[in-house]
Structure 1
Amino acid sequence: MIALSMFLVCLIMLAFGFPVAFTFGGVALFYGLYFEGLHLFLMVAERMHSIMTSVTLMAVPLFIFMGLILEKSGIAESMLESMGSLFGRIRGGLAVSTVIVGMLLAAATGVVGASVITMGLIALPIMLKYGYDKRLATGVICASGTLGQIIPPSIVLIIMGDVLQRPVGSFFRAALVPGLLLVVIYIIYCLILAWFRKEAAPPIPNKSGSLIKQYWHAFKTIIPALSLVIIVLGTVIIGIATPTESAAMGSVGAIILAMLNGKFKISMLHQVAMETTKITTMVFTILAGATFFSMVFTYTGGDEAAELLLPHLPGGKWGFILLMMLIIFLLGFFLDFVEIAYIFIPMITPLLIKLGIDPLWFGILVALNLQTSFLTPPVGFSLFYLRGVAPPSITTLDIYRGVIPFILLQILTLALVALYPGLIKLV
């Protein structure tokens, strides 16, 4: 009951708007002092030191830095414009190009907010200009922007590897097929919708010269960034480099690409470094508070209480998985993926082992689930990102209605991966 009350107090404080990191850390401090005493805090320094010296977590700021370089240098914008010129002449082509660029941005940045904002600023005005349905335009941008949750090098997967004590390269390999499956399902949906509702996704007249020139321009724009992504991910997946080493390579490669495009400036580098520091500080502050909370939760009997509840869950293994997916989905309304990964997942990890559930498979299900929560009204993070850059002609209701089909497609993909665990072992 003590551990359960800790969690409920945290949720109530979050509902009143208290900062996440300090909420969990502060509640843990109060409960730890009151119920366990000062001796419990002798372990805090050791836990903080293990976080600061984690080789796996060193990849987080490096991947953030790589993604911000590609965004600020305009490479992401060029990719979107090139893909739009290639696919725009077919019905639904702009939507398809948005999905493909969202996949490339996910693989290049791993940052959801950057992808949604970039595509919202570039693709949304073009879609509206050529008569695309508002709901389709907003839905495909939000959904494609959240692909950074599941497609490597997702920050979610790196954190999952650290929490579940599995190699990050294994998570990258396991997420490839589910991530690409989701991309294919998005594309099929866009093409089917464009076929049956021709007015929702009209083709764009070709005004940019010969097709050969368009392909050459797209080749020059996309191939360098795609090559960087393949090198970064490939070295991790085949085991040549650790995630930290590949992230460092990617950061240097992104700077080189920015130089080759003539977009590199010292002022840009300073801006990227400052933003990387802010984002990394936010992540690790949350991580410190979450680790403290997890420690106090364990010492006050939270893990034992969870194990006692296990025999009373209906449905055994599948009942547990369904319940956990529902809880994680609901927590996604209030918490970011970092808090969920570092606070909730450690609580249930012992139960995974008792039930014989593969942590790798479960981690992929969690990543897909968190991606769904990023889209779900009324508090999906991606919806707020797009709302912030959308023109006045786009209402919040348009965005809400636009994402509903893509939420259902994500749930379908989640169900397929749950029913066919072999999908995570195809790479």
Structure 2
Amino acid sequence: MDIANATILMVGLIFALLVTGLPLAFITGLIAMAFTFGWFGPNALPLVTSRVYGFVTEYSLVAVPMFVLMASLLDRSGIAKDLFNAMRMFAGRLPGGVAVQTIIVAFFLAALSGIIGGEIVLLGMLALPQMLRLGYDKRLSIGVVCAGGALGTMMPPSIVLIIYGMIASVSIADLFTAAITPAVLLMAAYIAYVLVRCFRNPALGPPLSPEDTDAGFSSKGEALRAIMIPALIAGMVLGSIYGGIASVTEAAAMGVFGVLLAIASRGEFSIKTLHGSLGQTMTTCGMIIWIGIGAAALVGVYNLMGGNRFVSGMIQGMEVAPILIILVMMAILLLLGLFLDWIGIAMLALPIFIPIVVQLGYDPIWFGILFAVNMQVSFLSPPFGPAAFYLKGVAPPGISLKDIYISVLPFIAIQLCVLAMILMWPQIPLWMLN
């Protein structure tokens, strides 16, 4: 069998086994073993296991459990709830104000943890019931929660960017710096969309009454103090990275310490809280590591078969402008995002795509930001769309998956517009690095 037919067989087996409901980690691992023994024989097994060992011993991975633990602790504390309620005082009686506030709170939470699932669940429990109670349009409310929660793929300290930096062997701090402008641009685009719709039709987001604006705080000063705690934690984490004081991994540990200190100062710390947070961290990181192990094995054997040279030659053999090759890559990532989790896409596609991007003369930092925006689209896109399932688990009974999928469509369009802008004007993410 030649490499072209082997590639078709490998891709076909992945999608065929996905239909059976097997976890992606097991699918990639099984296919890797089958091709290792079928193509090379048992003597090639140590070459594949060395790829797996290289993945699990990567120092940058240490930052992942730290940021996951930060998110888990925030989920179990009242910090996020107080942040949401405090922002309501500053939203005032603006049409769509609570939806705007939800997007800003989502941005803050993304800057604290970089974990998408936890943010969507938290906003689904805090913000969605409030907006529905205040008479907000159901689809607008759902879309705001899902799109806002997905900002974690872009806003540092994004786990997506950490994994990309590890695979691409580029500076994670530079990726974080480059991601700030696109993340702010996305947040601003979401806010602009909400305000335009609510000013044109105030019934979609009715202004707040004075009773709703108070939100349990006696003054704006008290509400401001509730905002300061998460702002200080985010500033400590990101400031230490950008200031060159700490590496990403060290900053992640500092963030966990800051959250623990904040929880203790609020009198919310308990062994039960710590135990639950550590358990959730183990579960989440275990999933990431197992998918990474399977994908590393699969990509390793595929490269040994000459797959990377085959794909590189096929793509570079296209007699088109280099930017069109990047567009083809974006289309492939969008297609994979309909069926696969982001970590699987990253581990399977990036080791093949990144060398081609570099050979074409493009900046891998810029491509990393494109990848992160693309993964935002995948978080919302049906039929897989993890955001829909995260929200469905905590949404009020009257909200169906169909409602969620319809609600996120305008926000997917906004994400695609931002993706196109970054493709057309690479300086959007890169200007802060110059």
TM category, shorter: over 0.9
The number of residue pairs the alignment matches comes to: 427
Which of residues 123, 127, 136 in structure 2 aligns to 1:119?
A: 123
* Displacement after TM superposition at 1:210 (Å): 11
Contact 2:86 2:217 in 1 (8 A): no
Contact 1:332 1:373 in 2 (8 A): yes
Contact 1:255 1:264 in 2 (8 A): yes
In 1, the alpha carbon distance for the partners of 2:73 and 2:216 equals 30
Map 1:110-259; keep pairs closer than 5 Å. 110-207=114-211, 213-259=218-264
In 2, the alpha carbon distance for the partners of 1:54 and 1:371 equals 25
Contact 2:146 2:408 in 1 (8 A): yes
Structure 1 range deviating more: 5-14 or 276-285: 5-14
Which of residues 371, 380, 404 in structure 2 aligns to 1:366?
A: 371
Structure 1 range deviating more: 256-265 or 345-354: 345-354
* Displacement after TM superposition at 1:7 (Å): 2.3
Which of residues 81, 84, 90 in structure 2 aligns to 1:86?
A: 90
Equivalent in the alignment of 1:356: 361
Residue 424 in structure 1 maps to residue 416 in structure 2: no
* Displacement after TM superposition at 1:189 (Å): 1.0
TM-score by length of 1: 0.96
Which of residues 75, 78, 86 in structure 2 aligns to 1:74?
A: 78
Distance 1:381 1:419, change over 3 A: same
Equivalent in the alignment of 2:287: 282
SS at match of 1:426: helix
In 2, the alpha carbon distance for the partners of 1:210 and 1:12 equals 51
Structure 1 range deviating more: 254-263 or 33-42: 33-42
* Residue identity opposite 2:124 in structure 1: G
Contact 2:51 2:300 in 1 (8 A): no
Which of residues 17, 25, 29 in structure 2 aligns to 1:25?
A: 29
* Displacement after TM superposition at 1:259 (Å): 0.5
CA deviation digits over 1:4-39, x for unaligned, max 9? 321221121112211100100110101111101122
Structure 1 range deviating more: 134-143 or 386-395: 386-395
Equivalent in the alignment of 1:313: 318
SS at match of 1:400: helix
Structure 1 range deviating more: 321-330 or 34-43: 34-43
Equivalent in the alignment of 1:342: 347
Residue 101 in structure 1 maps to residue 69 in structure 2: no
Residue 9 in structure 1 maps to residue 13 in structure 2: yes
* Residue identity opposite 1:348 in structure 2: F
Contact 2:89 2:214 in 1 (8 A): no
SS at match of 1:194: helix
In 1, the alpha carbon distance for the partners of 2:286 and 2:236 equals 28
Tell me, which stretches of 5 or more residues in structure 1 are unaligned?
Answer: none
Structure 1 range deviating more: 320-329 or 391-400: 391-400
Contact 1:63 1:247 in 2 (8 A): yes
In 1, the alpha carbon distance for the partners of 2:18 and 2:383 equals 16
SS at match of 2:396: coil
* Displacement after TM superposition at 1:118 (Å): 0.7
In 1, the alpha carbon distance for the partners of 2:82 and 2:423 equals 37
CA deviation digits over 1:335-388, x for unaligned, max 9? 111111111110122211221121110111011011011112232110111122
SS at match of 2:59: coil
Residue 43 in structure 1 maps to residue 29 in structure 2: no
Structure 1 range deviating more: 201-210 or 57-66: 201-210
Q: Percent identity at matched positions?
A: 37
In 1, the alpha carbon distance for the partners of 2:217 and 2:155 equals 31
In 1, the alpha carbon distance for the partners of 2:312 and 2:414 equals 33
In 2, the alpha carbon distance for the partners of 1:406 and 1:277 equals 32
Tell me, which stretches of 5 or more residues in structure 2 are unaligned?
Answer: none
Structure 1 range deviating more: 36-45 or 256-265: 36-45
SS at match of 2:374: helix
Equivalent in the alignment of 1:323: 328
In 1, the alpha carbon distance for the partners of 2:214 and 2:46 equals 70
Distance 1:210 1:265, change over 3 A: closer
* Residue identity opposite 1:331 in structure 2: L
Over aligned residues, Cα RMSD in angstroms?
Answer: 1.6
In 2, the alpha carbon distance for the partners of 1:311 and 1:119 equals 44
* Displacement after TM superposition at 1:43 (Å): 2.3
Map 1:374-389; keep pairs closer than 5 Å. 374-389=379-394
* Residue identity opposite 1:91 in structure 2: P
TM-score by length of 2: 0.95
Contact 2:55 2:296 in 1 (8 A): no
Which of residues 298, 304, 327 in structure 1 aligns to 2:303?
A: 298
SS at match of 1:284: helix
Distance 1:374 1:188, change over 3 A: same
Map 1:59-70; keep pairs closer than 5 Å. 59-70=63-74
* Residue identity opposite 1:297 in structure 2: Y
Equivalent in the alignment of 1:261: 266
* Residue identity opposite 1:61 in structure 2: P
* Residue identity opposite 2:148 in structure 1: S
* Residue identity opposite 1:85 in structure 2: M
Distance 1:314 1:11, change over 3 A: farther
* Displacement after TM superposition at 1:415 (Å): 0.9
* Displacement after TM superposition at 1:311 (Å): 3.9
* Displacement after TM superposition at 1:209 (Å): 5.3
* Displacement after TM superposition at 1:48 (Å): 3.2
In 1, the alpha carbon distance for the partners of 2:179 and 2:215 equals 38
* Displacement after TM superposition at 1:88 (Å): 4.5
Contact 1:161 1:167 in 2 (8 A): yes
